[in-house]
Structure 1
Amino acid sequence: MKQIILTGSSSGFGLTAVKTLALKGHTVYATMRNVNGVNAAVAKELTDWAKTQQVKVIVVELDVTSTTSVNNAIADIAKQSGGRIDVLINNAGISFMGIGEALSIEQTELLYQVNTIGPERTMKAVLPYMHQQKEGLIINVTSVQSRQYFPILSTYNGTKAALDAVTMGYHYELKSSGIDVVSIQPGAYQTTDITTKSISGNNAAVESQYGADVLDFKRALFKFFEPTPASPDPKEVADVMLKLVELPQGQRPVSNVVGGGGNTDKIEVMNETMRQIVEGTVEFLPKAFPA
């Protein structure tokens, strides 16, 4: 059974994944911010649930926007795990749906800090342990929006596209070291907290300068994210996490779309095209420019 670190465990995909992975016998370090504050109730609920189910879930304070917090959390986890870290799942994220101009630059920076730079922080913190083991798995939760650049999600799209690019690069950098780096690209799961925890733009007044076409699209997008009885189950994403964890090293696809809706086939073609471009270049350049 594996020692798994999962960020953003307080809600959404993360909370479901903690339970899915733990019930399969894995030890899950469920990390989140403010375990003694706003997330105290969910931290206690997870701890109590783990005792009832007789599974291993350990709640750990971790803020992906702080290098000190990340390094302290990973060091603490390594002590508890006997120095072994098998899997890191970068799930923590925040969303913004609205006119991109409505975001202050500080809010844009926050989106990139949480969604893009945060995963790089945690990767850099766990990789020394994985190198020592000569094996490991890093799963970065990106989004189908890393491939389809709808308006009203402009900055969010950028953060997820950047993380997908980082994932692809790390995948080939670490492949020969026995460490798999892959992404999961979830679609829309309306029953998660994607809208309730979405930030609001500080400069919302700029919307008065925009045309009806854009504002109609924004209205329709928010309507699309309202939960209905037909909304997909976010456990689908947790199940893909579990599948990737349990696949043998070297057999995990670099990109994994789940719940992508009507554009799934097109996104998978884009992913395959990008994989071929990167692999072709990785094979070609050393032959063209031998050492």
Structure 2
Amino acid sequence: MKKIILTGSSSGFGLQAVKTLAAKGHTVYATMRNINGSNAATASELKQWAADNNAHVEVIELDVASNESVKNAVAEIAKHSGGIVDVLINNAGVSYLGTGETLSIEQTEMLYQINTIGPERTMKAVLPYMHKQKAGLIINVTSVQTRHFIPILSTYNGTKAALDAVSVGYHYELKSSGIDVVTIQPGAYQTTDITTKSIKADNADVEKYYGTDTLNFQEALLKFFEPTTDSRDPQEVADAMLALVEMPAGQRPLFTVVGGGPQTANFEKVNELIKEIADITWGVLPQAYGLA
């Protein structure tokens, strides 16, 4: 059974993944912010669920946007785990649906800090343990928006595309060290908190300068994210995480699209091309300079 660190465990994909992974016998370090504040009730409920189901879950305070918080959390987890970190799942994230201009630069920085830099921060914190083990798995939750740059999600798209690119680099850099780095690219799951926890723009008044084409698209996108009886079940994403965790090392796919909808085949084609180009470059470049 694996010892797993999962960020963003207070709701959405993360909360379901904690229960899915722990129910299969894995030890899950469910990390989230404000376990004694805004997330106190969730933390308490998760602990009770673990006790009721004889599951191995530890709730740990961790803010991916803070160097000190990540350092302290990973050190605490290492004490609990005997220094073993088998899996890191970077699930924590924040969304924004709206025109990019409505965000202040501070809010744009926050989005990148949480969605892009945060996962690199946690990766750097756990990699020393994985190097010592000569084994490990890092799963970065990105988005199908890394292949589908639709308007009204412009800044969010950028944060997830950056994480996707980072993940490709780490995938190749670490594979000979016995560490798998892969991504999950979820589609739209309306029953999660993507809209309810979306940040509120500081500069919303600038929308008065925009045409009806942009505003109509924004309204339609917001309606698209309203839950219906036909909305996909976010359990699909938790199940994809479990499948990757239990897959043999070295055999995990770099990209996993989940809930991509009617464009799934196109997303997967793009993923195949990116992987093909990266594979060729990885093999050819050292040969070109007599290093292989």
**Counterparts of 1:262 and 1:105 in 2: how far apart (Å)?**
34
Would you say 1:277 and 2:277 are equivalent positions?
yes
**Counterparts of 2:190 and 2:289 in 1: how far apart (Å)?**
49
Matches within 5 A, 1:1-291: 1-291=1-291
**Counterparts of 1:281 and 1:289 in 2: how far apart (Å)?**
13
**Counterparts of 2:146 and 2:78 in 1: how far apart (Å)?**
32
Provide Cα deviations, 1:78-101, integer angstroms capped at 9, x if missing partner.
Answer: 010000000000000000000100
**Counterparts of 1:114 and 1:272 in 2: how far apart (Å)?**
28
Given residue 21 of structure 1, which amino acid in structure 2 is its aligned partner? L
**Counterparts of 1:194 and 1:3 in 2: how far apart (Å)?**
28
Given residue 64 of structure 1, which amino acid in structure 2 is its aligned partner? V
**Counterparts of 2:214 and 2:46 in 1: how far apart (Å)?**
41
Poorly superposed stretches of 4+, deviation over 2 Å = none
Q: Once the 2 structures are TM-superposed, how far is the Cα of residue 253 of structure 1 from its aligned partner?
A: 0.2
Provide Cα deviations, 1:120-158, integer angstroms capped at 9, x if missing partner.
Answer: 000000000000000000000000001110000000000
**Counterparts of 1:40 and 1:183 in 2: how far apart (Å)?**
30
TM-score, length-scaled by structure 1: 1.00
Q: Once the 2 structures are TM-superposed, how far is the Cα of residue 262 of structure 1 from its aligned partner?
A: 1.1
**Counterparts of 1:105 and 1:207 in 2: how far apart (Å)?**
16
Q: Once the 2 structures are TM-superposed, how far is the Cα of residue 29 of structure 1 from its aligned partner?
A: 0.2
Given residue 118 of structure 2, which amino acid in structure 1 is its aligned partner? G
Q: Once the 2 structures are TM-superposed, how far is the Cα of residue 200 of structure 1 from its aligned partner?
A: 1.4
Provide Cα deviations, 1:11-52, integer angstroms capped at 9, x if missing partner.
Answer: 000000000000000000000000000000000000000000
Q: Alignment partner of 1:119: what SS?
A: helix
**Counterparts of 2:208 and 2:289 in 1: how far apart (Å)?**
55
- Percent of aligned positions that are identical: 70
**Counterparts of 1:46 and 1:144 in 2: how far apart (Å)?**
29
**Counterparts of 1:35 and 1:199 in 2: how far apart (Å)?**
20
Q: Which 5+ residue runs of structure 1 have no aligned equivalent?
A: none
Q: Which 5+ residue runs of structure 2 have no aligned equivalent?
A: none
Q: Alignment partner of 1:55: what SS?
A: coil
Given residue 29 of structure 1, which amino acid in structure 2 is its aligned partner? Y
**Counterparts of 1:290 and 1:158 in 2: how far apart (Å)?**
36
TM-score, length-scaled by structure 2: 0.99
Q: Once the 2 structures are TM-superposed, how far is the Cα of residue 201 of structure 1 from its aligned partner?
A: 1.0
Q: Alignment partner of 2:256: what SS?
A: strand
**Counterparts of 2:286 and 2:99 in 1: how far apart (Å)?**
44
Q: CA RMSD in A?
A: 0.4
**Counterparts of 1:114 and 1:55 in 2: how far apart (Å)?**
29
Q: Alignment partner of 1:73: what SS?
A: helix
